[in-house]
A = this chain, B = another copy of it.
Amino acid sequence: MDDKNYNNPNDKVLGICSGGLDSTVMLYFLASSGKLAGGLSFNYGQRHLKEIDFARKACGKLGVPFDVADISNLARLFGKNALTDKKVDVPKSDYDFSNMSVTVVPNRNMIFASIAAARAIALNCRGVAYAAHGGDHSIYPDCRPRFAGALAEALSLCHYYPVALERPFIGMSKADIVRLGADLGVDFSETWSCYEGGEIHCGQCGTCRERREAFKLAGVPDPTKYSRTF
């Protein structure tokens, strides 16, 4: 490789964002130190695109570019799962292996990271960031720390400069993220967690339950309207 063709990246990262609570707080967190290049959401044929509108809105508020990577054409290749196949029901209970493995989109995080890295390279950013946190579920193989480490290593070698894979919330719980978001002035009512795409959060699916619990643990008022609570 010729040194004079080595591109020095800028000091910003591209934030992978879903419009959910965690990634929205991450956008605010990165923007607060001037390190946010923009946001990138994925349309992978998920059941609803409601969350993407929230991600777009957050980037608009923060004054950074927002893009959607549309890989919805691939959904038919990914096999049966509740997130991309409308014929499979979303489990209505807490997370555990037997009921949540149906929500696995195979290798989703690597697909997202590899495309986000390509976009980051096109923008000459030094890396990408995603909002994995300490409470993420090891039921998803691609949420495990060893996988994240290997993925980071691969990204560091994929281009002429090392592309960073940042997980700023990896040492935090979801309650910690809620607290940080409150400090940063995030309007949580403009984030979406529910697997269903109803008018308001269902209150019953695994992500709704975790969301409610995180606000409770954080001692932060939860502005979310749930259609049903327990």
Contact = CB atoms under 8 A, between A and B. Distances in A.
Contact of A111 (B109, B118, B139, B160): B118
Contact of A106 (B108, B117, B138, B157): B117
Copies in the complex: 2
A153 B74 CA distance: 24
Contact of A77 (B2, B67, B74, B139): B67
Contacts of A73: 69-71, 73
B157 A154 contact: no
A117 B160 CA distance: 24
B159 A154 contact: no
A79 interface: yes
Contacts of A131: none
Majority secondary structure, A binding face: helix
Contacts of A67: 77
B153 A158 contact: no
Interface residues of A, number: 49
Contact of A153 (B97, B114, B150): B150
Interface stretch (A22-30, A50-58, A141-149, A174-182): A141-149
Contacts of A111: 111, 114-115, 118
26 contacts: A1-B139, A1-B141, A2-B98, A73-B73, A77-B115, A78-B118, A78-B119, A79-B121, A79-B122, A106-B118, A106-B119, A106-B122, A106-B158, A106-B159, A110-B110, A110-B158, A111-B111, A111-B114, A113-B114, A114-B114, A141-B158, A142-B158, A147-B158, A150-B153, A150-B156, A153-B154
Interface of A: 1-2, 5, 67, 69-71, 73-74, 77-79, 97-98, 101, 105-111, 113-115, 117-119, 121-123, 138-139, 141-142, 144, 146-147, 150-151, 153-160, 163
